[in-house]
Amino acid sequence: MPHEPRNITFLGREDQTKHYGIGDPEPAHIDAVRARAHAGVPGFTIAFRGVSAALSLVYWWANENELHADFYLAPLDAPDQLGPYESTGIACVWELEVIDFERRAWLQDVLIDEDLDAYLSRALDPVAI
């Protein structure tokens, strides 16, 4: 299977949640994953327009250093119709780009520097991977 780069973009922040898109997700998809974010808890979401489905990933930080997650799936023609996604997979190479950035930011800004505001103001620059 040949590699096809996907765009990864920062879609903004609401409260303590940062939002990212991979593969140019539909606005309805972006809205649906934003609605699943955990209010008042630092974290991030990923709306991923995959080849065969719209993936919605919600991550949040807990117990100082743990990254927790909820995963949802929807058909491409109804990307706001999210249902639970059960899988043994952890993440794909594109999602790992966001996760790695957020892990490094959390480690430096929150765990080392104790500056949640710095973490919340930092975002991954747009990139094609």
Q: What residue ranges do the domains of the chain occupy?
A: 7-124
Record the pTM.
0.95
pLDDT one-digit tens code per residue, 8-31: 999 999 999 999 999 999 999 999
> 2 falls in which pLDDT band (50, 70, 90)?
confident
**pLDDT at 1 > cutoff 80:** no
Joined together, the tokens standing for residue 128 give 């094609």
Joined together, the tokens standing for residue 99 give 């996760």
Joined together, the tokens standing for residue 16 give 């303590």
The CA distance from 20 to 128, in Å, is 13
Cβ-contact 120, 42 below 8 angstroms: yes
pLDDT one-digit tens code per residue, 52-81: 899 999 999 999 999 999 999 999 999 999
